[in-house]
Structure 1
Amino acid sequence: MTRALLPSLLALALAACARDNAPDASTTPVAPATPAAVTAAATDAPALEGYHWQLSSAADAQGRRIDTLFARDDKPVQLEFGEGRIGIANTCNHMGGSYAASGDTLTVGRLVSTMMACTDNALMALDREVGQRLEGPLAYALQAGEMPQLTLTTAGGDVLTFLGKPTAQTRYGGPGERVFLEVAAETKPCSHPLIPDKQCLQVREIRYDENGAKIGEPGQFQHFYDEIEGYAHEPGVRHVLRVDRYTVRNPPADASAHAYVLDRVVESETVRP
């Protein structure tokens, strides 16, 4: 059974329902940042975009932990910033909207979300709890460090703290090259000087036109000695992956000059033996 999502349709993932209870940015007061916070200016936008921001703590105005924001211990709520948009992941549905930073205020526009229903009531509630706190104007502060910290304070006094993990673009010093890789259903033995009995993915590059139609004839499957960050191979399942390929600066002599990071799975097919 094939499940295909052509690249031209991928942008519809957020086709969704706007929340009716969005606060009015023109009337909602903004809570002041705490004195100890490092104030973020508009020029800090690239810093926001350079990290995946994972929720590490959340407390209300009385200092009590907001347990409803931690429905997934293994996957904390994560914020992604890019090109004037904010994405919210690890909730029941993927959520997103516009954002703008000015002075010490981060203003998030009306959020939209996908319409998937989750069987876990805590996850369903998580969408509501996150949306109520992240829409509208927020006092925000950035603190530099090996693991930078983003603090958002709502008008009601809730304080949400996120820790930053560098994106692949930050780690590799620039944007990657977007490529599509077809991964065969089964691996094959391949020779590797440091890994006895290594099994290699069988991979070939494919291309699409601007309308999402495949163009040209893909070549033969080849041994793929590298890893694809974020991808876990399923034996018996063929995948088409959209990945970003980065050039590694000064790689070790026994390492690849490229790093591959999964962006999304475009197509999957279970292959019968």
Structure 2
Amino acid sequence: MKNMMLLPFALALAACAQNAPAPGPTGATPAANATAAPAPAVADTATLAGYHWRLASATDAGGARIEALFPGADHVLTLDFADGRVSVSGGCNGQGGRYDVGDGGKLEIGRLVSTQMACEAPLMDADTAIAALLAQPQAVHFEEGTPPRLRLVAADGSTTEWIGEATAETRYGGEGETVFMEVAPQRIECHHPIMPDHQCLQVREIRYDDKGVKQPPGEWEAFYGDIEGFEFREGERKVLRLKKFDRPGPVPADASSVAYVLDMVVESALVPADDAP
């Protein structure tokens, strides 16, 4: 009788042992609701196009730094994505080609077309190294933050990290209007409510017809603001292609409600002082 009374108790203990989770390495029971680490975000074409991507680090499959991608402190490789094309700058030559981001975040870049300038060896080596790297399929991972980061992992295991700088379209919330402006080779005196003895750029509007033929220019006038990305050099006349944006939100009283961003230098020439307007 005593053995018969113990049998149900032994069976109950065995059932509990079968249903108990296996202990972890330290003997602790893993939590039933443990959350797996989130997978890295995958960047789409809109995310890529929203920033200028400047190279921060590059390592090969063994973890060694890829020295050829860093030609010097004054030259940082940069990727720009727009309208289905990627542009590479920062080395000797500008390079560009078609790109596509497929399912699963794979970046595929077509054959890069390059300008044909000759430079010092480090810059030429950087061109060769980045072209070879981008010829491989890249796994793309995006990390939000200030600033955002982009990690590209090539098929051979090489990894590059890029830091994002918002494009003008991202900062101002739109595509902007394309305008052309000629900048005179000398500044002129102009009245500024805050900065005494301020000198303004002297500019005039340039227009082209539907066939790209330049029309008679507008009148010269003082330009009180700044042109983002443009560096004035006295004695140089330049025609600039600009993106014109309306500044969002409240604008300070001493600031313009319009922002101009350099898109391209169309013409550039040295002008003798006597020929200045």
Q: Partner residue of 2:243? A: 244
Q: Partner residue of 1:11? A: none
How far did 1:152 drift?
A: 0.6
Identity %: 47
Instruction: State the distance in 2 between where 1:267 and 1:176 align.
Output: 22
Instruction: State the distance in 1 between where 2:122 and 2:38 align.
Output: 33
Instruction: State the distance in 1 between where 2:38 and 2:61 align.
Output: 16
Deviations 1:101-160 (A, max 9, x none): 122211111111111111x11111111100110113111111111211111111111100
| TM superposition score normalised by structure 2 | 0.82
How far did 1:219 drift?
A: 2.4
| TM superposition score normalised by structure 1 | 0.83
Instruction: Name the SS for the 1:136 alignment partner.
Output: coil
Structure 2's unaligned 5+ residue stretches are 1-36
Write the letter of the residue equivalent to 1:196.
P
Write the letter of the residue equivalent to 2:221.
Q
Contact 1:109 1:136 in 2 (8 A): no
Count of residue pairs brought into register by the alignment: 235
Deviating beyond 3 angstroms after TM superposition, the runs of 4 or more aligned structure 1 residues are: none
Q: Partner residue of 1:177? A: 177
Deviations 1:12-37 (A, max 9, x none): xxxxxxxxxxxxxxxxxxxxxxx876
Write the letter of the residue equivalent to 2:136.
G
Contact 2:136 2:155 in 1 (8 A): no
Write the letter of the residue equivalent to 1:138.
Q
Alignment of 1:1-273 (within 5 A): 38-40=40-42, 44-102=44-102, 103-118=104-119, 120-215=120-215, 217-249=216-248, 250-273=250-273
Structure with larger RCO (C-alpha < 8 A, sep 6+): 1
Instruction: Name the SS for the 1:214 alignment partner.
Output: coil
Deviations 1:49-69 (A, max 9, x none): 000000000011111111111
Instruction: State the distance in 2 between where 1:183 and 1:163 align.
Output: 32
Which has a greater percent of strand? 1
Instruction: State the distance in 2 between where 1:269 and 1:147 align.
Output: 37
Instruction: State the distance in 2 between where 1:45 and 1:184 align.
Output: 39
Contact 2:184 2:203 in 1 (8 A): yes
Q: Partner residue of 1:21? A: none
Q: What value does the CA root-mean-square deviation take over the aligned residues?
A: 1.4
Instruction: State the distance in 1 between where 2:265 and 2:128 align.
Output: 27
Instruction: State the distance in 1 between where 2:39 and 2:121 align.
Output: 35
Write the letter of the residue equivalent to 1:107.
E
Write the letter of the residue equivalent to 1:244.
K
Structure 1's unaligned 5+ residue stretches are 1-34
Between stretches 67-76 and 55-64, larger displacement belongs to 67-76
Larger Rg: 2
Instruction: Name the SS for the 1:64 alignment partner.
Output: coil
How far did 1:260 drift?
A: 0.7
Instruction: State the distance in 2 between where 1:219 and 1:109 align.
Output: 42
